[in-house]
């Protein structure tokens, strides 16, 4: 099994554990040494898997404090900006067309 496959497997396993609630936002991930023992891989492989979860915002690394799970990002597509006057006019028009 290649090293690139190993880090991807570790990344997927950790992401799945986060998604399934085994780790909640604010929880610390096991230490790097614990992950080395668990997955039986070298430090570079574990580090790469963790870094790949930092990029999309699943994890945060704090020197001296460890790696913790972040709260999920809420992303909404902003399609249109309207002001109060425009929104009120729309609601009045929608309400009056219903009656």
- In this prediction, residue 16 carries a pLDDT of 94
Q: How far is CA 78 from CA 58, 81, 88, in A?
A: 23, 8, 19
Q: How far apart are CA 95 and CA 89, in angstroms?
A: 10
Number of domains in the chain: 1
User: What is the span of the domain harbouring residue 42?
Assistant: 1-99
Question: What tens-digit pLDDT sequence spans the chain (99 residues)?
Answer: 565 589 999 999 999 999 999 999 999 999 999 999 999 999 999 999 999 999 989 999 998 899 999 987 655 566 666 676 776 666 667 666 555
């Amino acid at each position: 099994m290649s090293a690139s496959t190993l880090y991807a497997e570790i990344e997927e396993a950790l992401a799945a554990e986060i998604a399934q609630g085994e780790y909640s936002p604010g929880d610390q991930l096991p230490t790097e040494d614990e992950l080395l023992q668990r997955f039986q891989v070298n430090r570079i492989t574990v580090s790469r898997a963790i870094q790949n979860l930092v990029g999309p915002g699943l994890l945060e690394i704090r020197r001296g404090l460890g790696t913790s799970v972040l709260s999920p990002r809420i992303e909404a597509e902003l399609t249109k900006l309207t002001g109060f006057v425009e929104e009120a006019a729309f609601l009045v028009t929608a309400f009056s067309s219903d009656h």
